Amino acid sequence: MKLYLDPPMSGQDNMAKDIEMLKRAREQREALIRIYSWDRPTISLGYFQKPEKILKLEVLEKYGINWVKRPTGGRAVWHHKEITYAVALPVDYPSLPEGVTSAYRFISEPIYKAFIKSGLPVKWARQEQNLTEACFGAPARHEIIYNGHKVVGSAQRRTSEAILQHGSILLAAQPEIFAACLQGINEELLVKQLRYRTITIPIPSTKLKKYLIAEFRRYFV
């Protein structure tokens, strides 16, 4: 297993590194983990989302907000003040389940345990319907919640030989700015939904990061 702690980077550089991790997991047959952040506010779009249909590009340009396409599916995610993780594994990694939902939970297990050891009594979510273009609109069964609020948003890509999962752990939310950047939505309603569904972690980021590193190293030997 190799674990990387990267400095803040652009959205393009971050996604390029995650894609490279997927390639290396396939070629080197080993676990690769990365913990990173973003050099400025960025919206990442799922692989199949079209920016001209999802984003108000003029608003992003006005406020200096970047956007990038993820190699994974899913919906739009606001990245700024957060801890971001990426895990890449070969599909024959020991104990990795075949099903998508089971694989999500398998990869998320060290994150869950890092929260618990940090003193945050998180739980696994039940499936809820998400009718918005925002990833944090509702939790899925494989995701982690605290007091009913989603604290981690993840996405996954699977090839015939490797799997990549990456996601965001919120340190501070800015739903009003995020909503102003999206097309075809009721901004007031989306802000209300995001505030209801999500929560920022009430523990120091340095403390959580320490436990994340320890649990990733323990889990992916």
* Mean pLDDT computed over 210-216: 97
pLDDT value of residue 9 = 97
135 is catalytic: yes
pLDDT value of residue 148 = 85
What mean pLDDT value characterizes the chain? 91
Selection from 115, 108, 71 nearest residue 220 by Cα: 108
pLDDT value of residue 130 = 45
Which residue among 43, 135, 169, 173 is the active-site one?
Answer: 135
pLDDT value of residue 47 = 93
Structural domains of the chain, with CATH:
2-215 (3.30.930.10)
Tens-digit pLDDT profile for residues 42-78: 999 999 999 999 999 999 999 999 999 999 998 999 9
pLDDT value of residue 198 = 78
Task: Name the E strands within the chain.
Answer: 2-5, 32-36, 42-45, 66-69, 77-79, 82-90, 123-124, 144-146, 149-150, 152-158, 162-170
Q: pTM value? A: 0.89
Tell me if 207 sits within 8 A of 173, measured CB to CB.
no
pLDDT at 86 over 70: yes
